[in-house]
A and B are shown apart, each in its own frame.
Chain A
Amino acid sequence: MRRPSPRLLLACVLFILLALAPILTIFVGNDYPLIVLTRVLILAMAAVSLDLILGYGGMVSLGHAAFLGLGAYAVGIMTTEGVTSGLVQWPLAILLTALVALVIGALSLRTRGVYFILVTLAFAQMIYFVSVGLDAYGGEDGLVVPTRSRFSVLDLSDRTSFYFLCLVLLFAAIAFVAHLARTRFGLVLRGAAMNERRMRALGFPVYRYRLAAFVIAGALCGLAGILLANHSEFVSPSIMNWGRSADLIIMVVLGGIGSAVGPLLGAMVFMLAEETLSHLTTYWQLIFGPLILIFVRFARSGLIGLFPERSGDG
């Protein structure tokens, strides 16, 4: 028997704490904390999906929020058109996101470094403008999603059930990404981030593995988008504002890149900081901006650095 790693323990503790959180609502007497926490979980899921390509794969995508928006819009549009069954909506929405990720990834992975960052940003912006141009579906003002996705076994309109659904899906995503990183596929992804030249010399066609990871990350982020549409019961282009893509990167780095569970920590702290600072002052970004710089300069290993990895690559 191996002792569980500090990170696994951290994940378990976080899961238990978050699972107990709905009790809070009983004390507070309203749903507000639960609503905020649900949002945290959903954004954390988007951040976890980004960690797969950013943290493990070394691909700095500045357009990840586009997949959040795609998933959300797919649900919003289908609901508007009368397709409310989750069994239809969700697979279609994920498929759509994966396809778009395939196209964007196939193009942008032809580039390196600064180019890759700019190109992912540009394509995300393109999708943003498409959503702005969707006059039939609210255009710039966005679209009200009249009902949440329908499942026969689960009522998503119940806040507590929905919270637990998000929680379970988030931790499934974390476990999936953490597992993926240890498999052959994950080794190739991480190896290519560390030393691409060596990977080619060993005989790996790096591009196709990266592309596969890009598609998986996109689809997973699409799932987060589906949840977001159901949570807010509203979708609008601002979901995939380029600032949102940057926020996701901040969450990943704040928590610790390439750690799967780190982005959850990052998302929690990010949202906490946003809530606290914005209560403190209207001009909270005046403080938050410099904080990011200070963080990047002095605490780059992220919060996960407090929980050392077990030696070895397993």
Chain B
Amino acid sequence: MADLPLLSVKRLLKRFGGLIATDHVDIDVGAGETHALIGPNGAGKTTFIAQIQGELSPDAGAIIFSGRDIAREAAWRRAQQGLARSFQITSVFLQFTALTNVILAVQAQAGHSFRIRRAAVDEPALVEPAQAALAAIGLGDRAHVRAVALSHGEQRQLELAMALAMRPKLLLLDEPMAGMGRQDTARMTEILRKLKTQYSMLLVEHDMSAVEALADRVSVLVAGRVVATGSFAQIRADAHVRAAYLGEKHR
């Protein structure tokens, strides 16, 4: 086994009372791969992402990331090892400017923050990468606007810019197109298509054209279980999946 996957989730299990939210899930994300996770609402996709990132702790199973089991580690340690999550429901620092939001993301990966000599916004080591991340995502000219004043689409972009600024090994993207119009969705798909060449991604998405455009492999999650994994074409052809998921959506 020369090429271990970057992320290897094994038999992950999470219960909420009597409800099984994640039912012995196995998923791999190879280095450089974009792996899409699709499934109907309530299938447990966000719960799954939250366990990988560390906000929720699984009841059982392993999360092997870069060769180490991180299933019991605190979220902030996982982030420092190169896991970056963008949230389905925008979660940014509303009272900070877009730039400061990204500065915090850069800062998180730049050693400890017990530094009190200079103002953070005067540190080129923070500001320059932050500017670059904003520019890469198309928010360069909105850097000094407070996040609360950004449009929904722009906040989604900011969300992604923050994840990028962490220089992650793996991006956990939880519905990056959530709540976006057709035009914004197309734009975001284009942005992600460019990023795809540089990053490994685990992508939760409802928009099938985006999944088709981006995913190397697709896994289908239904009621906490992976019912199929394969290329987009394979998944589309899978009768099992059509019955469980695609069928009910297209009818």
Contacts and interface: CB of A to CB of B under 8 A. Distances in A.
Contacts of A313: 96-97, 100, 121
Contacts of B121: 182, 312-314
B97 A187 contact: no
A184 B91 contact: no
Interface string B76-95: 11111000110100011111
A113 to B, nearest CB: 18
Nearest to A194: B93
Nearest to B145: A311
The A interface is mostly helix, strand or loop, or mixed, namely helix
B114 A185 contact: yes
B108 A195 contact: no
Nearest to A203: B79
A187 B113 contact: yes
Contacts, number: 107
Interface residues of A, number: 29
Contact residues on B (Cβ < 8 Å of other chain), bracket:
35 or more
Contacts of B77: 203
B103 interface: yes
B107 interface: yes
B40 to A, nearest CB: 26
Contact of B92 (A179, A195, A206, A311): A195
Contacts of A311: 97, 144, 146
A187 B104 CA distance: 7
A314 B126 CA distance: 14
A202 B116 contact: no
B116 A183 contact: yes
A33 interface: no
Contact of A205 (B76, B93, B116, B162): B76
B115 interface: yes
Interface in A78-118: none
B166 interface: yes
A265 B97 CA distance: 27
B122 interface: yes
A312 B144 contact: yes
Contact of A197 (B55, B104, B105, B123): B55
Contacts of B79: 200-203
A198 interface: yes
B113 A312 contact: no
B96 A203 contact: no
B97 A203 contact: no
Interface string A257-276: 00000000000000000000
Given A201-B79, A311-B144, A313-B100, 11 more contacts: A179-B116, A184-B115, A194-B94, A195-B93, A198-B87, A198-B91, A200-B55, A202-B79, A202-B108, A205-B76, A312-B121
17 contacts: A183-B115, A184-B114, A184-B123, A187-B100, A188-B104, A194-B93, A197-B55, A197-B91, A198-B91, A201-B53, A201-B85, A201-B91, A202-B105, A203-B78, A209-B113, A312-B97, A312-B144
